[in-house]
Amino acid sequence: MRLYFKQRFFSWLDSYDIYGESGETVFTVEGKLSWGHCLHVLDGTGRHIATLQEKVFSFLPQFEIYIEDEYVGCIRKEFTFFKPQFTIDCNDWQVDGEWMEWDYRIESDSAGHIAAISKEIFNWTDTYVIDVPDPGNALGALMVVLAIDAEKCSRN
């Protein structure tokens, strides 16, 4: 499954549309006014299915994951020098990035390759391509991309 993650051009808050390969809207992400990033994920029908909430008072960036308003875990940026790395405490996923922070891989000790994420650099807005072999991992991979993008935005 391939998803195209595209930030909306005119938006006061973080807003993204996530398209499938045939151009249909699979997810919509709406930023909410809050202390730190708060992103609500809606499915293709507009139903709220998940939330990513930044923890503002932490040494390294952390993002809490809520699926249908139930806390399921946290995505944490690890302290590294050259390559960005994130861990997720609700599963055994590790996220490793390249030093330019354009390409990421999500791997699992038990399941192997989960997703590949690449940033398209010649666009007006942030645009990512997410390749997910198992469609059941699409929402989790999207939450990782949202955390990576929010972390970059907070840093810059």
Distance, in Å, from the CA atom of 15 to the CA atom of 147, rounded to the nearest integer, reads 13
- Beta-strand ranges (E) seen in 98-148 are 103-108, 112-120, 127-131
Please measure the distance between the N-terminal and C-terminal CA atoms of the chain and give it in whole angstroms: 31
The pTM of this model reads 0.88
CA 64 – CA 92 distance, rounded (Å): 16
Amino acid at 27: F
User: Which DSSP state fits 31?
Assistant: E
- Name residue 44's beta-bridge partners: none
Residue 133: what pLDDT? Answer: 96
Ranges of the chain whose pLDDT falls below 50: none
Cα 35 to the center of its chain, rounded Å: 19
- Predicted confidence at residue 59, as pLDDT, reads 83
Return the residue matching tokens 């991309």.
145
Query: The domain containing residue 135 runs over which residues?
Result: 2-75+121-155
- Containing 140, the helix (H) or strand (E) segment is helix 138-155
Q: Which of 127, 129, 113 is nearest to 21 (CA)?
A: 129
Query: Is residue 13 domain-resident?
Result: yes
DSSP class of residue 132 equals -
Residue 89 is assigned to a structural domain of this protein:
no
In a domain, 110, yes or no: no
Nearest alpha-carbon partner for 116 in 143, 89, 145: 145
**What mean pLDDT, rounded, does the chain reach?**
89
11 domain-assigned: yes
Looking at the structure of the chain, the number of domains it has is 1
What pLDDT is attached to residue 8? Answer: 66
Q: Is residue 45 part of a domain?
A: yes
